[in-house]
Structure 1
Amino acid sequence: MTDKIYNVLFVCTHNSARSIMAECLMRRWGAGRFIAHSAGSNPAGQINPHTLATLEAFNYKTDGLRSKSWEEFAMPGSPPLDFVFTVCDKAAGETCPAFIGAPLTAHWGVEDPSTAEGSEEKIRRAFRRAYVELESRIKIFSSLRVEALDKLTLQSSLHMIGTVRNPQGETASA
């Protein structure tokens, strides 16, 4: 058994919703095994208020969270990354910076809740759907015995986790 703690980066374009939720979820479900980070290819500079409300509804502390560029993780002195997950299709299609470390990568696309329109309730449900989908994947990932898997098996597992979807319409309740 290893005592290695793995650095994980979640990326979306604006680093204001999905990647922020994923960072918080990994901190909760991967505590002691993973250090979670998030970033954006074109960061918004602020976190979507619905993201903060969703996280707070599930008892996450949100102070200290910030929208930041993925370039921060390519600079000298940044943590060497073990895993990088894109959680939006746009970021998945972009050329990533040369991250420190040699991370395994996978695309875990999640529908962008910040594009939801309509009533406040409809928007709230969109954010909760994204939360539930990310939580399902992160629970699976954080339960893997990463150190026991060869690189090819691990890469295959990461891609398969990215296909996990929550049942249509199922939302988390706080």
Structure 2
Amino acid sequence: MALEILTDRNISIEGYHSKNWDMFGQQNSGTPMAEMDYIVTVCDNAAGEACPIWPGHPVTHHWPFPDPAKFSGDRVSARQYFEKIFDMIIKKINDEISAGLTK
């Protein structure tokens, strides 16, 4: 459903996917850690995990959005719920950009 909404709103998903910490290198693994400017987690599972210590001391945020995949109901209601969460995320991104993406 999320992919449908992105497609319907003309947002390309080519080359994008959800990533876990390990994709960016691990401390003491011999793989250099990627340097980031901002790190945003949106699911409560990630918020509860011990985060790596990132090089460069990036700004980190947790945005506790509801998980739309946990919605139970008919397809039309589920679609509306996904769109509501999508709009909340877009608003938060725009608000953060307007505020200068600070801590």
Do both share a fold (TM > 0.5)? yes
Q: How does 1:21-40 map to 2 (within 5 A)?
A: none
**Matches of 2:46 and 2:33 in 1, distance apart?**
24
Pair 1:98-2:53 in alignment? yes
Larger relative strand fraction: 1
Q: Which runs of 4+ in 1 moved over 4 A?
A: none
- Corresponding pairs, count: 98
Which amino acid is 1:111 matched to? P
**Matches of 2:48 and 2:100 in 1, distance apart?**
29
**Matches of 1:129 and 1:121 in 2, distance apart?**
12
Pair 1:83-2:34 in alignment? no
Which amino acid is 1:52 matched to? L
1:138 maps to what in 2? 93
Q: How does 1:59-74 map to 2 (within 5 A)?
A: 59-74=10-25
Which amino acid is 1:76 matched to? P
CA RMSD of aligned residues (A): 1.8
Distance 1:67 1:104, change over 3 A: closer
**Matches of 1:118 and 1:141 in 2, distance apart?**
32
TM-score by length of 2: 0.81
Provide structure 1 residue ranges, at least 5 long, that are not aligned to the other structure.
Answer: 1-49, 147-153, 156-174
Q: Deviations over 1:63-118 (max 9, x none)?
A: 2222332212234263x111112212221111112333311212210000001112
2:7 maps to what in 1? 56
Q: Percent identity?
A: 33
Provide structure 2 residue ranges, at least 5 long, that are not aligned to the other structure.
Answer: 26-30
Pair 1:113-2:68 in alignment? yes
